[in-house]
Chains A and B, each alone.
Chain A
Amino acid sequence: MISLRGRGRGRSQTTVRELAHLSDEAVLALIARSDEQALAELYRRFGRLAYGLAFRILRDDALAQDAVQEAFLGVWRAAGRFTAERSKPSTWLLTLVHRRAVDLVRREERRRTEPLPPEAEPAGAEAADEAELAARRQTIRAALRQLPPEQREAIELAYYGGYTQSELAERLGQPLGTIKSRMFTGLARLRDALGEDARGQSGLV
């Protein structure tokens, strides 16, 4: 999958083999030192997830690719600053993807259809990765199911649909304060339901 193996560029680049066992934080530290292989490794870990998210929001291959590229380049540019942040690298990356995708979708009119429901379409990832992703998907789906429908709706429309809180208020015919409160209460519940997954340093998220 990784094709850019050790090019002699006057700098000792790590090889893929060395990177596979590293933590996400360590990969990011290498990226901060301009290690291209480390960027490739980060892409191997999260590229598919990033693209899936961007595609779900944007429904367009070219735009989704743009969003993913911007996000990875954002990591490339600012990985050195990340050492100071307390969130996980994957959270940071997905935050970048999300914000970029939402920026793009708000410029396009294409969003004005319903968000896509999640689809169970098998993709050609490695088996271990696939199992890991499937487990995480189950966790988040279970957590979402625990939410009252109106909270879940507000969160899903905001996150997957890219709607602003004001747009949601209008769309759902509710006062803005109600929307704010649904998002806050719902996301707090989701956070608590995800427990360590959300706050902890382990795992992919």
Chain B
Amino acid sequence: MDDGSPHELSAAYALDALDGDDLRAYEEHLAGCDRCREDVASFRAAAAALAYDVDLPSPPETLEHRILDAARAERPNVVPLPRRWAIPAAALAAASAAAAVVLGIWAVHLSNSLDHQRQIRKDQKGLIDVLSDCKPTPTKGGSGSVCVAPTRKAVLAVDGLEGAGKSKTYEAWVIAGKRVEPAGLFQGGAGRRYLQLTKPVPNGATVAVTLEKRGGVSAPTGAILLKAEVKPS
């Protein structure tokens, strides 16, 4: 990302021609860039078409058995994908189709290989864990949603919240009864931003966002910019 617009890198990304810091920087950009996600999706389809311009020896017949054996051996160790997944995913996607694309992109990475999985940064893994099985509640004020997993871990997704600027930060709060706990900081900015909340969200609690001074505060001082009351499931 040393020169030019990061948008242009969507092609290099789709061709897997980014690596190291370039790749990490672009993926960070991608998470908040609707246009890039659209470009990446269509570029990936175009890139995949290149696979058809290949006519080389057929795979050995044993490969199919090898794959099926490995799949069979592996399944018992895999946490079954929850049936509920399709529902929150669809709901999230309805709120922003971009969210689904991001999930798809992450899924690609997740499933790439075991050693790659290990490299995935913890925060992304946390997000995926929550987003793979959670119930979304749209926010009031601002555009976004809070998605709460059965474990009560939660992810806040906000769209197009103006950047907080250098001296300020957005701060998320979990409000349960009279308890108000700080639950993470984020900077906002164009596109969709995700924050995995640092506190569990019990049923009936409200997740709210205020603008605070840089570094965050222990009790909210700013006005509530958006909030979501998480109804019992």
- Nearest residue (CB) in A for B14 is A187
Contact check, A194 vs B49: say whether CB atoms are below 8 A apart. yes
For residue B47, CB closer than 8 A to chain A, the reply is: yes
Q: Is the CB of B47 within 8 A of A78?
A: no
| Least Cβ–Cβ distance between A10 and chain B, in angstroms | 12
Q: Does A198 contact B (CB under 8 A)?
A: yes
Contact of A100 with B45 in the complex, beta carbons under 8 Å: no
B-contacting residues, A9-35, CB 8 Å: 32, 34
CB–CB B111/A78 < 8 A? yes
C-alpha gap A37/B4 in the complex (Å): 47
The size of the chain B interface, using a CB distance under 8 A, is: 69
Q: Separation in Å of the A26 CB from the closest CB of chain B?
A: 14
Bound CA span A55–B53, Å: 13
B44 in contact with A95 (CB, 8 Å): yes
Minimal Cβ-Cβ distance residue in B for A162: B16
B75 at the A interface (CB under 8 A): yes
Tell me the nearest residue of chain A to B15, going by C-beta.
A158
Residues of chain A lying within 8 A (CB to CB) of residue B50:
140, 144, 155-156, 159-160
What secondary structure prevails in chain B residues at the interface with A? helix
Q: Which residue of B lies closest to A175 (CB)?
A: B3
Q: Which residues from chain B contact A136 at a C-beta distance below 8 Å?
A: 49, 52
Rounded to whole Å, the gap between the CB of B187 and the closest CB of chain A is 26
Q: How far, in Å, is B105 (CB) from chain A's closest CB?
A: 8
Q: B85-106 toward A: CB 8 Å interface, digit per residue (1/0)?
A: 1100110110001001101100
Residue from A73, A94, A119 within 8 A of B71 (CB atoms): A73
Sorting the interface of chain A by its residue count into under 10, 10 to 19, 20 to 34 or 35 or more gives 35 or more
Q: Which residues of B sit under 8 angstroms from A120, Cβ to Cβ?
A: 55
Q: Are A180 and B4 in contact (CB under 8 A)?
A: yes
* Partner-contacting stretch, out of B58-66, B150-158, B164-172, B208-216: B58-66
Q: For A68, what are the chain B residues with a Cβ–Cβ distance below 8 Å?
A: 59, 63, 67
Minimum CB–CB distance for B170 against chain A, Å: 26
CB distance from A107 to the nearest CB of B (A): 10
Which of B2, B12, B90 is the most central at the interface, judged by chain A CB atoms within 10 Å of its CB? B12
Known pairs A74-B111, A84-B93; A199 contacts B45 (CB<8 A): yes
Tell me, yes or no, whether A111 is within 8 Å of chain B by CB: no
Also in contact, A197 and B49, with CB within 8 A (given A68-B63, A78-B110, A100-B113)? yes
Known: A55-B57, A159-B16, A164-B17. 4 other contacts (CB 8 A): A123-B55, A180-B4, A194-B45, A198-B42
